[in-house]
């Protein structure tokens, strides 16, 4: 398993998911090799829930990081779980066409590019 996938699985352990019980972790690698992790944080008002991928991006941006290489996303599901639509938008806007590594605790993995997950993004070029 990719080392970033192991970090995403570890971040998943910190998830706050009392409602869905669906814990997700993310590990975002920046261009300098630093890693910014995140986990999903639910809220009784589901619209206020924030996904693991967005937590990792926001943490990195808030620390001044602006260039990224790849992200690993870990969820405990039979099928590997790609980022949701909102996360795809945030990942594209802040990270561009990075590598996306999907993992689960059973050791399943799949790697793809953001452009394949989000083929026609809305971004600054759309304005």
**Distance (Å, whole) CA 37 – CA 14:** 10
- Catalytic residue (choose from 13, 29, 42, 53): 53
Q: Verify whether residue 42 is a known catalytic residue.
A: no
Question: Sign of torsion, CA 29 13 59 123?
Answer: positive
Active site residues: 53
């Amino acid at each position: 398993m990719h080392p970033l996938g192991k970090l995403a699985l570890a971040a998943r352990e910190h998830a706050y998911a009392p409602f869905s019980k669906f814990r997700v972790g993310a590990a975002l690698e920046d261009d300098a090799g630093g890693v910014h992790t995140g986990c999903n944080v639910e809220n009784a008002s589901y619209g206020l829930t924030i996904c693991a991928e967005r937590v990792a991006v926001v943490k990195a941006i808030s620390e001044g990081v602006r260039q990224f290489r790849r992200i690993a996303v870990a969820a405990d599901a039979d099928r590997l779980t790609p980022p949701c639509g909102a996360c795809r938008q945030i990942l594209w806007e802040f990270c561009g066409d990075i590598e996306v590594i999907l993992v689960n605790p059973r050791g399943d993995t799949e790697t793809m590019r953001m452009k394949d997950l989000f083929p026609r993004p809305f971004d600054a070029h759309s304005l």
